[in-house]
Structure 1
Amino acid sequence: MATILVAFDTLEEGFERLSQAHTLIRPPHGRDFTPEELRELIPEADVLCSVFDIPVPAELIALGKRLRLIANYAVGYNNIDIEYARTHGITVTNTPHSIIVPTAELALALLLDCARRVSELDRLVRREPGVKVSLSRIDRLGWLLQGKRIGIVGYGNIGEAVAERCRAFGMQVLYYKRHRLAPEVEQAKELTYRPLEDILRESDVISLHTPYSPATHHLIGARELALMPRHAILINTARGAVVDEAALVEALRSGQIAAAGLDVFEHNDLPLPALSELDNVVMTPHVGTQTRDSRLMMTAEMTENVLRFLEGRTDISRVV
């Protein structure tokens, strides 16, 4: 029997399989464990279930003398000191499958909002309750997705799910990734590969789905934004620091690009105040998986990783 420490609060359902076979330690309903509580509890834990917004630094991992597995409740794992875990023989898993559809759907929601100026028009309607909004036939025009080009930067599982949905809107899909897909795959999925600079120049929409790393820090900066057409929309549901947020503010202010839909932000997911002043920005507070269905799927995937690991199986979503 193992001791499993769950660092975070989430839906109650889905943990029954863990508690039936092992000792499960969860925080009081409605809150996460504090850093101090985690430091007190982790020495007895064989497994730590972590989450993307709770740091798991080397100092915390080092206190886990029995720790064998860190099971992250997210696809990203930059909240964990991966190198320390690796060098100390601690396995790390994530939940890459359950987050695909909800994140892709949110990317499409942000895109549709930007293209049809939904949030902007909603603010306009609310501005004077009881007063009819009167627009001229050419005021605050949006545009159709049909016939436009979307450039997927980081064509992994989420990027692929976004591409599938964009094709349903009649969009042409360009993509960029470090290792190009085989020609037969491109043909079957109706994809066109383009180098990053070309994809920025040629796309009406850029949707970011690349993982965050030192190599992707400010992948989209002032130079890259200047390559994009003035009518282009930027969507970011990846990680905030993939975009130079200050440069993005300037590009939006100056009309260098038309709009941005953002679920993530560079500085600990706190958007620069200037973004709130811009009508051509749609923002959500890092809610790519903020649905009940997603939470249950993530719990099931994380739980399966934990149980399989404790059974000695290797068919887990292993990061290290």
Structure 2
Amino acid sequence: MASFRLRRFIDPFLFILLGTVLLATLLPARERAADFFQWLTYLAIALLFFMHGAKLSRQQVIAGISHWRLHLLIFSCTFILFPLLGLLLRPLITPLVGPQLYLGVLYLCALPATVQSAIAFTSLARGNIPAAICSAAASSLIGIFLTPLLVLWLMGASSDQATNTTEAIQKIVVQLLIPFIAGQLARRWIGEWVARNRAWLKNVDQTSIVLVVYTAFSQAVNEGLWTQVPLANLVGLVFVCCLILAIVLAVVWFVAKVLGFNLEDRITILFGASKKSLATGVPMAQVLFAGGAIGIMLLPIMLFHQIQLMVCAVMAQRFSQREHD
């Protein structure tokens, strides 16, 4: 029982990612090996978004349109509140984490919501599960188009950390959009097979993410990542992630209550609107950013991912213990 509770608080995959970062720090890919991993990463990202397209049911998105107020609030938080917080808190965040990690925080704020954990916590907390499924699926789909545009707006197309607009759009179309559409088209033939093998296919997602993290941190280490990011900035980043999450949770709960949503819907909104997707953020960073900047961009989402899991696990457990209506 203790180990089961621990798994609710800590994502085991995080340890794999931390091990990958350590490996990249001690044995970074260089020269030909770096080129090999770069191409392998491109292929892995294309496969990842092909599988996203094959998994995502259009019916899940269409079915939830009737609950548009709930979804609109979640999307507004994911794609408006988070980015605004990243901009408004800049005078506080930048001294704590430095200008490079601040850009990573902005990237975090532009990401779509998670799918699996938002649904899992809503289910545990006895919220509106169908609405959670629809909202999470739609957020994942919208994020493919909206997140890159938000990143370009938040950071500025002329930023040293971001590629130029034309190049970014080309990469998004080739590496993300075309594979995703191909997966949607192939769903007609492989949809049932994908549904039967979801547990096994999770390994494809995680392997792709590990490849991206190793390649990204290898580049960053080769360019002196750990000399650019002092320990004090990493501690400051933990504080910033906790602060942003706390503000979002408080604002979302208050607004949902003022708008008259019932408890089940408020639970769904709370867990759907406060999440940011590591699974989408890692491969998308490889497409949007260049060189050693990728490793720095990934640090905030890796920390925020674990913090949101720990906090939301406690909240979901508390909600689950309420009396049945």
Normalising by structure 2, we get a TM-score of: 0.24
Task: Say which structure is richer in strand.
Answer: 1
**Higher CA-based Rg:** 1
Higher relative contact order (CA 8 A, sep 6+): 2
Task: Say which structure is richer in helix.
Answer: 2
